[in-house]
Amino acid sequence: MPWLYKQSGSKKWYVGFRVGGRLVQKSTRTTDRSKALQQLAAVSATQTSHHAGLPIDALVAALKGGTANSQVTLHSEVESWLAESSSATAPRTFDAYRSVSTMFQRFLGATAEKPLLIDVSPETVRAFVEDLRKSKAPGTVNNRLKVLRILFARAVREGRLVSNPAAPVKTVRTSAREGRARRPFTLEEVRLLLDRASPFWRYAVLAGFYTGLRLGDIATMPAGAVDLHEGVVRLVAGKTGSRLTIPLAAPLRVLLASLVSSKRPDADIWPKEASLYREVGARALSPKFHDLLVECGLVPARTHHKTKDGRDGKRDTKGISFHSLRHSFVSLLKASGSTQAVARSLAGHSSDAMSDHYTSLPLETLKDAVARLPEVTV
């Protein structure tokens, strides 16, 4: 018969039982004894009803909250999920899925044989989150928790789990200082960046300021995305998968004409930077942009002296980064009289429904909005 007990140092109730001489422990995830007793009764009933004929491993899975076929390992579940996601998500989203799932398995010391998927509990996920909080900003921690919720939600939908172990884990609260939003660059700051920038970063800053594109899309842009005859850039956003058509402001159009005129449509405009970004991601280029910010006196240099947090300590971003150019783009669109619909269409909304709605805007309306943006190359 199963029994109810508390583990040392825990306020929550556990149900203990034996199956074929094997001790099994199941957390009730509650401190309420009456609720714990209900779970004890459910375990007892399940054990009784499955006693005859059910294999021991399958019975253990059922009693612990899994399903009869839940003898799948965490590793195999992750591999299956990644294989499915590789063709169903944008490249940068897939990279995030792979990175977080690898990190989670490393934290648990997972192998191809252990742990079983059903052995991953909310306490396990919560311990992972607490470990991340030692070195990562709240937003980063919450994004990684979100990835785990997506992973386990798939297992629930397909019947390999009864409940999502990441769902009860609370997101990390963001303080006013840590949650400070990126601010837009001023026109004077953009002009200063252009004055000090290398050829690639001059292109990147102009493209970010006049299109609102993210650094990855700018770095990996093929020559064929630029339609000089129509005066637009057409591409699929790496983060959201949205199809974007962005009119070219005159200064950017002049620069792109000199860069793409001799290139094949499938060739990268900047091959070295595109290759770096595809291999390493944003961290291959973002530090170089930070160096430009330092050179312009817009942020302090990062110190290499050891701190109590080490090199993985939570970063103080000082409110600006390359993404601030995107904020500048949207802010100036609105300041020049563009509607919210125009701003969202040009910036590329992450919602499929919103994207479907806003891509119906006439191209001339979008061109008119971009044409009103200020000149920063003089």
pLDDT digits (tens, 9 = 90+) for 331-369: 888 888 888 877 777 777 554 443 343 344 688 888 898
Phi, psi dihedrals of residue 16, rounded to the nearest 5°: -110, 145
Domain assignment of residue 263, yes or no: yes
User: What sign has the CA pseudo-torsion 345, 219, 188, 378?
Assistant: negative
Sequential DSSP letters for 147-192: HHHHHHHHHHHTTS-SS-TTTTSPPPPPPTTTTPPPPPPPHHHHHH
Measured CA angle at 97 (ends 83, 105), to 5 deg: 90
Domain assignment of residue 309, yes or no: no
Same domain, 81 and 29: no
Same domain, 49 and 84: no
pTM for this one? 0.56
Same domain, 26 and 98: no
Same domain, 195 and 137: no
SS3 category, 287: helix
Question: 98: domain range?
Answer: 74-157
Same domain, 99 and 193: no
**Residue 356: predicted pLDDT:** 40
Contact call for residues 212 and 352 (beta carbons, < 8 A): no
pLDDT, tens only, 15-28: 887 766 667 777 88
Same domain, 117 and 265: no
Tokens of 359: 């891509």
**Residue appearing with tokens 């009693």:** 63
How many domains does the chain contain in total?
3
Same domain, 54 and 87: no
Contact call for residues 16 and 36 (beta carbons, < 8 A): no
Same domain, 7 and 104: no
Domain assignment of residue 177, yes or no: no
Same domain, 262 and 344: yes
Tokens of 260: 């793409």
Q: Torsion angle of alpha carbons 377, 370, 326, 238, nearest 10°?
A: -120
Task: List Cβ<8 Å contacts ≥24 apart for 99-103.
Answer: 100/144, 100/147, 100/148, 101/147, 101/148, 101/151, 103/144
Same domain, 214 and 293: yes
Report the alpha-carbon distance of residue 162 to residue 30 in Å, rounded. 17
Could you tell me the CATH number of the domain that includes residue 361? 1.10.443.10
For the chain, residues with pLDDT lower than 70 are 19-22, 42-70, 174-182, 302-318, 349-361, 378
